[in-house]
A = this chain, B = another copy of it.
Amino acid sequence: MSRSSSCKVVGMDWSKRPGFSETSCHIEEFNNEYDEEEEGLRQRFVVVHGAGSFGHFQASKSGVHKGGLNQPLVKAGFVATRISVTSLNLDIVRALAREGIPSVGMSPFACGWLTNERNIESADIQMVANAIDSGLIPVLHGDAVLDTARECTILSGDVIIRHLAEELKPEFVVFITDVPGVYDRPPSEPNAVLLREIEVHEDGSWSVLKPENVNKKVTFTVAAHDTTGGMVTKISEAAMIAKLGIDVFIVQAASSHSLTALKGELKDGIPEDWIGTAIRFSR
């Protein structure tokens, strides 16, 4: 989140980083004055991130998503995947903390999230709720988890978000990605059209509201290294969240549009100049 330059960042990462001889925070700088507006902005958020290049390689090479934890390669891949994703989680927690966001890493595996045939079987979100109530920002991530049917699998960040949305009933959910939103075909293709509003129906199907003259045959691709389903999973999870009556916005990282969405400013209508994809339940 952006902040005014006059607001002092209260750094919360006091550890040294590789390649840096100094920590990024001096305790002497603390005072008890928070900017209330800033404080309000960063309250009661949950951050969930995927694995990106951290983890997908380890998981797909060893077949962790297919299960079979007793096989040496799968067991090693499970351990290697968890190391990779928790390493990314720590980097993200530290980056947020350096900006003064009271982030706390929470691994779904350690939190006791279990799946059955890749569907969430049990996931105690009490601790996530406790952390939020304590003014902290939980940071969860796609993780290698135990599966009661296939011994182990990969739980994607998108599935985690949906489960958290069902349990915590947030005002809105924002998916932050590296493209401006959802397109009618891979955005690298010429003439790809950004889908601005998607309406989810009672039966779970969905249709494009804006733009009106969009290519009706929407296609999605899944990257070969992605063990968790890529854009198809993302949209179907987003649609399931929207069906709960929770608005979902898919936006580009580090854009002003992502900030607009994160601030909750799309609640009463989407401005014409906002760029992203809104997915909402048809009421």
Contact = CB atoms under 8 A, between A and B. Distances in A.
Interface centre among A30, A61, A80, A93 (most CB of B within 10 A): A80
A25 B72 CA distance: 14
A251 interface: no
B83 A97 contact: yes
B126 A72 contact: no
B15 A80 contact: yes
Interface in A1-50: 10-15, 18-19, 25, 27, 30-32, 34
Contacts of A19: 18
A11 B76 contact: yes
A131 B113 CA distance: 12
Contact of A54 (B12, B15, B83, B112): B15
A186 interface: no
Nearest to A131: B146
Interface stretch (A100-108, A163-171, A221-229, A267-275): A100-108
A198 B210 CA distance: 76
A93 B96 CA distance: 23
Contact of A105 (B72, B76, B82): B82
A69 B111 contact: no
A79 interface: yes
A73 B30 contact: yes
A83 B13 contact: yes
A135 B70 contact: yes
Interface centre among A15, A18, A87, A97 (most CB of B within 10 A): A15
Interface of A: 10-15, 18-19, 25, 27, 30-32, 34, 54, 57-58, 61-62, 69-73, 75-80, 82-84, 86-87, 90, 93-94, 97, 102-107, 109-112, 114, 124, 126-127, 130-131, 134-136, 146, 151-152
Given A14-B83, A75-B102, A130-B146, 4 more contacts: A14-B57, A32-B72, A87-B90, A104-B110
30 contacts: A10-B72, A10-B76, A12-B83, A13-B79, A13-B83, A14-B76, A14-B84, A15-B84, A18-B19, A31-B72, A69-B134, A75-B135, A76-B102, A78-B104, A78-B136, A79-B97, A83-B94, A86-B90, A86-B93, A87-B90, A104-B110, A105-B107, A106-B109, A106-B110, A110-B127, A111-B112, A111-B127, A112-B127, A112-B130, A131-B146
